[in-house]
Chains A and B, each alone.
Chain A
Amino acid sequence: MNNCFVPMEAEILRADQVTKSEKHFTLRMKNGCRMDFAPGQILEASLFGFGEIPLGFASSPTRKDSFDLVVRTVGRVSGAINKLEKGQSVFVRGPLGHGFDLDRLRGHDVLIIAGGIGLCPTRSLIQYILDRRSEFKGFKLFFGSKSPQDQLFLDDLSAWRNSPDVEYHETVDKGDPGWTGNVGVITTLFQKTKITPDTRTVICGPPIMYKFVIKELEKSGVPHNHIFVDLERRMKCGIGKCGHCQINDKYVCIDGPVFSFDQIKHLEEVFG
């Protein structure tokens, strides 16, 4: 009888310590199956004896037979996973939840706004769009992090800075002597470019960020049903049972983690 809690083994093909606390893994399923996910979906990753944590896919399904995860060391499980190296295994259950509704993005201008580690799940969508660039119109990306040392995916960032396929803007809350770019909160990036009202916008970042970003989008005339938020909550089962991820009556693990803003804006608990 199928037991939805039994995970599958995935082998680590690559493991890079990308910041002091974050490690970037590339994984492949041991049984040879493809992890058949959509950008924005999540999975539960675990190590036996330590436990499970929910994570968003950090790569696009358009890329190879592997997938990427970024793990930030915050507790027992993430700490244990981040000690692993190439050749070792992580155990995964997924894909889980609802990702980005690509049909609602195709054929339109797209703006992705990522704060901090929120770049990981959105990287899946960024890669997807870059791989199928002709399916989308204008593509802008805002990325904000605390400091230059906190920036993730440095190779990607430098590629995006020079890419004709994406209009990339970045900022840090606090610079350092080597930093020549923007300094300030992520909403300051709205001054750098013009957002058309037709833009489909995706937001993923720390809980505090959403309200301010949505206010800026409203100023640009972007309607609420064109705003998609990727939310994070405590999660134990990932299958809509354990109750930890609830926002009012919605379960982030099955109804989300990506929601269209108009679908949840009436929920009092949505932004904490």
Chain B
Amino acid sequence: MSYFFLKESDLKDFVRKLISSAPVIAPVARKNKFVFADLESPDELRLDYDITILPPKKAFFPPNQTLLSFKENKATSAIRPREQILFGVHTYDVKAIDMLDLLFAENNADNNYLANRKATTIVAMTPQAVSGRAFWESVGKTVQPNGHDALMTKIREGYVFEPRTPQGTRLTKSGIFSQASSGQLDEASKCQSEIAAKCPEKLSHSTREISDKMRASFNNEKIWHTASLDCFSCGTCNIVCPTCYCFDVQDQWNLDQVSGARYRTWDACLTEDFAKISLGPAGAENFREERAERFRHRMMRKATYLNSRLGGPACVGCGRCSEGCVPDIADPVKIINNVMES
């Protein structure tokens, strides 16, 4: 595919045209943080963001998603995808989306996710800034972002735009794009490696070494007990994670008490009841009763359990969990490096 160039001064026009063609979800500022939100005007767009509070997966896997609606004994599927453009997704978040694409499709295809995903055109972005806890440069190095329709990289004069799919190419019809020069391409690849080098945190071992050692450390009670001593079981580390996809399913009545909906909400394996079953008169059984067990389970999922299915770890190094954890104990770099040194 060919490479295009868009002048900085033409960006707003391009984005305005995109907004008029379909809803555009993109990074915008909220106080001193950033979030992905439906873009009302190109003026709100903040392509210089470092990280968003919640990952962009919410565009097709919302925190609260209706699966079906019911009226008395009749159920109606709630799969109703809207064509949309997810704009400015950092490359590490694209990797996380690739994982969810695979996980929701394999074994039993879940169209509640897949239909929304299919209706979404993704324009990825080389980060222009790194967040305080990012380590995406050193994690899962052999896995490249794959599911995006185009990649944009900021260079001095504007953006190098690389379409990767026909949808990505189609977007260039909405702006004043020229052919990118080889000088511009060189500049883009230089920007890509320069920003990667700025990640403040770093894993020092290969995916394989980490996976093997983490799995082998399962029974190292001391590590998990010590690491999780201050955990509140709040689940924030799960909720902000782009690769977490566990959910709860609940029913809710409408006010009329004859109709309602069955919906799913993001769930968190760090919370106390996540693996608890009620046995009726015999009491209850909680298969991960101790917070150390739950804390360990998250790290096992990130570093080893899913590796063979995903081709790499289920962590993309965004650093959201590290920033979101109040006692600051969720940072995978600290946890993994600690295990590696044990």
Contacts and interface: CB of A to CB of B under 8 A. Distances in A.
Interface string A55-90: 000000000000000001111000000000000010
A7 B109 CA distance: 16
Contacts of B253: 49
A51 B111 contact: no
A269 B289 CA distance: 11
Contacts of B306: 249
> Which of A46, A232, A241 is most buried by chain B, counting CB atoms within 10 A of its CB?
A241
A146 B111 CA distance: 44
B251 A3 contact: no
Contact of A48 (B70, B248, B285, B300): B70
A239 B275 contact: no
Interface in B258-306: 260, 262, 264, 267, 269, 274-282, 285, 287-288, 293, 297, 300-301, 304-306
Contact of B67 (A5, A73, A232): A5
Nearest to A237: B249
Interface residues of A, number: 44
A1 interface: yes
Contacts of A91: 73, 75
A232 B110 CA distance: 23
Contacts, number: 135
Residue among A72, A89, A237, A247 with max Cβ neighbours from chain B (10 Å) = A237
A270 to B, nearest CB: 9
B9 interface: no
Contact of A243 (B112, B260, B267, B279): B267
A5 B68 contact: yes
A254 B107 contact: yes
B14 interface: no
B218 interface: yes
Contacts of A5: 67-68, 77, 112, 249, 262
Interface in B235-260: 245-253, 257, 260
A48 B267 contact: no
Nearest to A8: B75
A259 to B, nearest CB: 15
Interface residues of B, number: 56
A269 B297 CA distance: 10
A241 B260 CA distance: 23
B108 A254 contact: yes
Interface in A5-25: 5-7, 9, 21
A201 B174 CA distance: 66
Nearest to B106: A240
Select the residue from A232, A244, A254 with max chain B CB neighbours within 10 A.
A244
B287 A242 contact: no
A4 B282 contact: no
B108 A268 contact: no
Interface in B68-92: 68, 70, 72-73, 75-79
B11 interface: no
Given A2-B111, A240-B108, A248-B305, 17 more contacts: A1-B77, A1-B111, A4-B108, A6-B76, A21-B280, A48-B262, A49-B251, A49-B252, A51-B251, A51-B262, A239-B110, A241-B108, A243-B245, A243-B267, A246-B297, A254-B108, A272-B285
Interface of B: 67-68, 70, 72-73, 75-79, 103-104, 106-112, 115, 218-219, 245-253, 257, 260, 262, 264, 267, 269, 274-282, 285, 287-288, 293, 297, 300-301, 304-306
